[in-house]
Amino acid sequence: MENAAITKAILSGKKGARRDAVLMNAGAALYIADKAPTMAEGIALAAELVDSGKAMQVLECLIAESNA
């Protein structure tokens, strides 16, 4: 439950070290997957996806599918 609350807080826009760690990991994944040309651009893209609410939408879809 605590991890779910932390994840939702980060995807809802809460700033801090946890968000920074998530953005770094997501940025690395985007870079490795060739979705961003550099790690820095991967981090920027990850931040954009979180800040726009798109990441939260994906989480909500995953939750809905897993509950179906």
For 42-68, how does the pLDDT look when each residue is reduced to its tens digit (9 = 90+)? Answer: 999 999 999 999 999 999 999 999 999
Q: Sorting pLDDT into bands at 50, 70 and 90, what band is 1?
A: confident
Q: How far apart are CA 3 and CA 25, in angstroms?
A: 16
pTM here is: 0.86
Q: Give just the sign of the alpha carbon dihedral 32, 37, 38, 43.
A: negative
Q: How far apart are CA 6 and CA 19, in angstroms?
A: 9
Q: How far apart are CA 44 and CA 57, in angstroms?
A: 18
pLDDT higher than 90, residue 12: yes
Structural domain that includes position 30: 2-67
CB 6 within 8 A of CB 18: yes
Number of domains observed in the structure of the chain: 1
pLDDT higher than 90, residue 14: yes
Q: How many residues does the chain have?
A: 68
